[in-house]
Chains A and B, each alone.
Chain A
């Protein structure tokens, strides 16, 4: 069975500081990993996925199969980054398994 763990419930950083959201997963096969974001009063939306290897809104995430991690990073946090972030794993069958989420608060 697959599992996604986000150890931090809340991350509070100052504007301009780096931010890193941790995500660890367990899955016996080859997973597809995602980060979803939910801004205040908005729907859950895709931020980025590991197969795209892209940077979205300054965020990057690298899949480390050895450490079974997919941490999300941004070197300089902005106030508009304040949101709820979910790491998710897609295994066979197209089912998404989500972590518990990390709330990011960027203080001015």
Chain B
């Protein structure tokens, strides 16, 4: 059984550019959530995908978008990057919805916007 993997681990982008972050969910998991963790803060929920459909969204603007593929891997896309988008982006996968399901986190992608 493989864990949640994210790529790339680090990247640097210029303000105004677009970025795509990738996440491979743990084997057997059909739900993927994305979180943004700014320095010194707890993770903040961006959105969740369940069986390729968006299933909940946090307080993030539309320039944050995502996809989930048939193999349940996922992408997070951010357009028109701003300096405040610099953060650690975490992906978490789980096997089911509802009470008792456990989220397993990836190691994160550190995004720096200059």
B31 at interface by CB-CB < 8 Å = yes
- List B contacts of A96 (CB < 8 A): 33, 35, 43, 45, 92, 103
- B57 (CB) vs chain A CBs: closest residue: A95
Number of B residues contacting the other chain (C-beta, 8 Å)?
30
Number of A residues contacting the other chain (C-beta, 8 Å)?
21
Nearest first, the 10 A-B pairs at minimum CB distance are A98-B42, A93-B56, A44-B105, A43-B107, A95-B45, A98-B43, A100-B42, A43-B105, A101-B42, A95-B56
- List B contacts of A94 (CB < 8 A): 31, 33, 48, 50, 55-56, 94, 97-98, 101
- List B contacts of A45 (CB < 8 A): 104-105
Q: Which of A44, A88, A93, A101 is B41 in contact with, Cβ under 8 Å?
A: A101
State A51–B103 Cα separation when bound (angstroms). Answer: 15
B18 to chain A, nearest CB (A): 25
B interface residue numbers (CB < 8 A to A): 4, 31, 33, 35, 40-45, 48, 50, 55-56, 58, 90, 92, 94, 97-108
A93 to chain B, nearest CB (A): 4
A interface residue numbers (CB < 8 A to B): 4, 6, 32, 43-46, 49, 51, 86, 88, 90, 93-101
- List A contacts of B97 (CB < 8 A): 94
- List A contacts of B31 (CB < 8 A): 94
